[in-house]
Amino acid sequence: MKKLFLSFLLAMATTFSFAQTTWAVDPMHSSFNFNIKHMGISFVQGRFDKFEGKVVTTADDLTNAKFDFSVNTASVNTNVEMRDNHLKSADFFDVEKFSAMTFVSTSIKKLKGNTYQLSGNLTIKDVTKPVTVTAVYGGKSKDQQGNEKLGFQTKFTINRLDYNVKYDPTGAGVAKDVDIAVYVEFVKSK
């Protein structure tokens, strides 16, 4: 009987330690931003206004977390309508053919403190490439309504030419490198 009870306790502990929690992006407290050099002398900043995503965790931190994001390319916003329309064209995102950019994680490794190395596949247009970024876990908290929240941010750079965004391939007018900053707050799914 004692062995049976211990087996039951071990099974329960294993179940609780591997319980998955799903967190959905809270769009009111999140942003997907970019910054790109223009003519070698200034920068254009922009963002994507429509996105969704989730993270599935099995621990109190991001250890073993699985991330999945999708960004609506037609929601690109630089606060200049003419430029936004050009970015939506085949010269850049070709939103008629490629309505979303996606990121799906493949691994995460804790570095130190709240810093992690996040690897995954980034898809822009018809190209999927592996990327590895440094991510900062902001922790967990509850909002005024008692909803549990989780914070996360990352900044990294990609070469747009690697993803068939080939307008101005010399990079003289529109730089090749794009700085990306992602600030995400997730809410625990009920």
pLDDT confidence of residue 3: 52
pLDDT confidence of residue 34: 98
What band does 60 get if pLDDT is binned at 50, 70 and 90? confident
pTM of the model: 0.86
| Closest by Cα among 158, 88, 169, 98 to 129 | 158
Beta-sheet pairing, 100-112 with 51-57: unpaired
Residue 180: pLDDT over 70: yes
Structure tokens at 140: 């967990």
What band does 24 get if pLDDT is binned at 50, 70 and 90? very high
pLDDT in tens, 161-173: 999 999 999 999 9
> Domain 19-188 class?
mainly beta
What band does 2 get if pLDDT is binned at 50, 70 and 90? low
pLDDT in tens, 112-152: 999 999 999 999 999 999 999 999 999 999 999 999 999 99
DSSP readout, 19-64?
Answer: --EEEEE-GGG-EEEEEEEETTTEEEEEEES-EEEEEEESSSSSTT
Residue 185 has a CB neighbour count (10 Å cut-off) of 20
